[in-house]
Structure 1
Amino acid sequence: MHVATFRALHHGRAPGDPLILPGPWDVASARVFANAGFPALAIPSAGIAASLGYADGSTPPEEMFAAIARIARGVPVPVSADVEDGYGLAPGELVGRLLEAGAVGCNLEDSENATLKDPRRHADWLAEVRAHAGDALFINARVDTFLFGSGDPADALARARLYLAAGADCIYPLLAPPEVLPVLREGIEGPINMAAQPGISSIIDLARLGATRITFGPGMQQHATRATGELATRLRAPVRETEPGVVCL
């Protein structure tokens, strides 16, 4: 039921009304977002890595799937998860691990070790993932042309079309400049996921330019970390006595 609900959230949206998916990094943050009324969540691999003490891309798969499972169990809304390039797992095992963890969707990137994969081979791999998943997973195909490639929108469009034909539900052109979004929107027949920084202006701009879905990567975890650091700094500030027996920070 959750996956059907999640998939439906991406379709029939009015122009300028994208699906906003916060990125939790643990159960506590996921519950905050769910309680705020967001209909679904998108777990960032970099946020999970930071919360577990790993560098981005270095989280052991077992720990990543365990974190996904904790979050999925902890909230009543659908949860999708960034699982990088699939951790080298065979498509059937990857799908099984995601479904066992309770995820209804996943991000799968088309790069490895900071190098773009051959798009046709990656499309074939995505087709295998789709064949094993059936309708049970929403596949968000990340296109890394703007991260590790030439940044040519034509290359991003070519990759996007291959991945949609292979069974992807959504295209995620990571780090695509906002001004390129109208070109991508015109050339991609399907939902487009754009990344934003936590902030209303960024969301409004991407919504206006045609984003179907907006996620934040590790941005929310980083925002929370900065806020905690500011609190820690205030708590460590020298204490000043204002009156006998009364102190303030």
Structure 2
Amino acid sequence: MPGRAAARPNGLVQEVRPVTAGTNAELAAVVNGAAGLAFVKAARISGRQARALRREAAINPHVREFAPRLHWTVETEGWLVLGFEHVDGRHANYAPGSPDLNTLAAFIRELHMLACPDVVEMRVERRWEGLAEDVSALAGDTLLHTDLNPRNLLITRSGRPYVVDWAFASRGAAWIEAGQVIPWLIHAGHSPAEAEAWADQVPAWRLADPAAIDLYAQVSAERWRRHSQANPRPSGEVPEYVTVRERWARHRAR
């Protein structure tokens, strides 16, 4: 993590606009101060969300061509606070025919060209250990964002993309990045076959072992099925984050 203060915070606060999206911080807000706008995340130092923020701070210097810059870091009175460059952009649209899908594929291809820095210690295959006898086919040393949902891809008016929320950056097989996106595409209206056709824009996906993709689709569905069972909704309804993964797993099993 950077030092306690990578740069001075934004000065006297004039306005705070809470941001409700995201789960990797206890507080997220756009802060307008004497030094201008900043996107601020904060969490209690003792909690798991602070660990996520520390990971995000550690990876930021290595992905500055893609991500808003981390301008300052402060620890005070039991809180960890990060101040990022403020990006005025819209969330991406993953619906069929959206030009944002080409932007997303281009980002993944470019990310694959970066060496995975030593600060990234999370290994992506560990998410699915215990769900299959052998998940080594998911292992690798490629830098992965792992959570490219539409809210984490911001596009400015000029068309420049920014990728946010790097707290779960991991190392793993390169093709998994596209695989993690496929359920989001199905959720946005693509069929499983259409989502996989989009993924073909990513060379690592095209070259991946189909058996490894089959395994991934199955363990991904099972992981979220178990999560849903452990956290049932009062209505008893199966969440869509489960149904889209099950739909893809069935498609792969044909």
Higher RCO (CA < 8 A, seq sep 6+): 1
Which is richer in helix?
1
- Asked if these proteins are the same fold (TM beyond 0.5), I'd say no
